[in-house]
Copies of this chain bind each other. A is one copy, B any other.
Amino acid sequence: MKVVKFGGSSLSSGEQLKKVFEIVVSDPERKVVVVSAPGKRSSDDIKVTDLLISCAERVIEGKDPGILIEAVAERYRSIANEAGIQGDIAAKIKENLLDLLSQSNKDPERLMEAVKASGEDQNARLVAEYFQSRGVNAAYINPGKAGLIVSDEPGNAQVLPESYNQLMSLREHEGIIIFPGFFGYSADGNIVTFSRSGSDITGSILANGLKADVYENFTDVDAVYAVNPGIVEKPEEIRELTYREMRELSYAGFSVFHDEALMPAFRAGIPVHVKNTNNPASPGTRIVSQRLNKNGPVVGIAADKGFCSIYVSKYLMNREIGFGRRLLQILEEFQISYEHLPSGIDDISVILRQDQLSPSIEKEILERIQSELGADEVKIMYDLSLIMVVGEGMRCNIGTMARASRALARAGVNIEMINQGSSEVSMMFGVNETDERKAVKAIYEEFFISIKV
């Protein structure tokens, strides 16, 4: 049995809806379909969810959301018409939305949650109706009824463990289930939305709860690429990726997934299959717990900007028990999290995301390090980029570092910092932001284009 999730772009129009239908019915294993709200039809289009947020905002501000409500209804109407669904479903949707918005006596936050969630909810009803109109046994299922219970943290709901067993009973359900993504219900019946990529989270939770054989995640790219296509043209597609590799890549700003969204599936050991709604024939990318190490030691390369390094030096530091701990203590008091701690004998650097620092906080921190730790020198270096080279094959492959660093040298990139030795599936290079693209290109060419050594 497969849980299948479709993103907003896969459901942005009637044409897309037809594709979704064909995909689902082409495989009897596809029993559970998780849907997002209709996304953009073109780059200058507006997502239904964004229209809904504006609606709610206006109501909360006491303004008339008239035109916006029309715009929402219109989106659904055009989808319904294109898909050839009988009856004025858009009218029903509009009615429901007006009904929702009229409860403006509600706590504004609750109102916002309910209105946001309605995008997925209405769309699931529409999709179910369309499937039925095509003569298929399909039904909308409400997350609350299905037992998807979450913590009451608006915009950041966490699934509660009991949900999994409750969702299991969906397996008994006859026909195809159309399930709205992005939200669940709190113990006392409030609608609460997940964080970003909320529909991915819903699909992931269902895959776990229903013990699916695979979680298919349909989006609008053929596969996860080995490197950002914005940096390298037509990069290699990754056929298979482990959870660990996925996580290390998404850490460094690799965009495909917000990796935590997939955790419920990962925890249950369920493979995630990324496929393209617009090209279902393409093999896509499978994210699994283990893979055979094909195609070289490196599977992907990611990079992320906006890091800085606080350099601290003090003679005989390495003799001073507690120095590092006291340094981290100071940062902790400012609620600052760090990424790495390369250290020499008499010096240590703390690499962290620089958006955590303001001029005043920086000043305070540097002063405290100077005075409390008696440092000989404290300085800060901004605008570093961390480049993550990821692959399960790396650990046991002698020479990977040599190849990567040689590639950087050839490209004339100076390595500010290397972090290798803890993670078994990645190595990280710190370079100046200005060198990032050059560096990523060079490493990609070394491992994906030049003949493998």
Contact = CB atoms under 8 A, between A and B. Distances in A.
Interface of A: 247-248, 251, 260, 309, 311, 316, 318-322, 324-325, 328-329, 332, 335-349, 396, 398-399, 401-402, 405-406, 408-409, 412-423, 426-427, 430
A408 B413 contact: no
A2 B427 CA distance: 50
Given A318-B337, A398-B412, A421 B426 contact: no
Contacts of A426: 344
Given A345-B423, A422-B347, A423-B347, A413 B398 contact: yes
9 contacts: A309-B421, A318-B337, A324-B328, A325-B332, A344-B426, A345-B423, A405-B405, A415-B421, A418-B419
A418 B420 contact: yes
Copies of this chain assembled into the complex: 2
A157 B237 CA distance: 66
Given A416-B421, A422-B343, A325 B329 contact: yes
Contacts of A343: 339-341, 419, 422
B412 A421 contact: no
Contacts of A349: 421-422
Contact of A405 (B342, B401, B414, B419): B401
Contacts of A396: 414
A251 B318 CA distance: 10
Given A318-B337, A343-B419, A415-B420, A398 B409 contact: yes
Contacts of A320: 337
Nearest to A252: B345
A38 B180 CA distance: 89
Contacts of A419: 342-344, 418, 421
A446 B154 CA distance: 59
A24 to B, nearest CB: 33
Nearest to A395: B414
Contacts of A427: 418
Nearest to A426: B344
A406 B398 CA distance: 9
Nearest to A344: B423
B422 A421 contact: no
Nearest to A419: B342
Contact of A338 (B324, B413, B416): B324
A318 B247 CA distance: 12
A344 B425 CA distance: 9
Given A321-B332, A420-B417, A402 B398 contact: no
Nearest to A415: B401
The 8 residue pairs across chains A and B that have the minimum distance between CB atoms: A417-B421, A344-B423, A399-B409, A325-B328, A402-B406, A342-B421, A402-B405, A402-B409
Contacts of A422: 311, 342-344, 347-349, 417
A319 B335 CA distance: 11
Contacts of A325: 325, 328-329, 332
Given A251-B345, A325-B325, A396-B414, 19 more contacts: A248-B344, A248-B345, A260-B316, A311-B422, A318-B337, A324-B338, A325-B332, A342-B421, A343-B422, A344-B419, A344-B422, A347-B423, A398-B412, A402-B406, A402-B409, A405-B406, A406-B406, A419-B421, A421-B430
A336 to B, nearest CB: 7
Residue among A335, A402, A420, A422 with max Cβ neighbours from chain B (10 Å): A422
Contacts of A405: 399, 401-402, 405-406
A419 B412 CA distance: 21
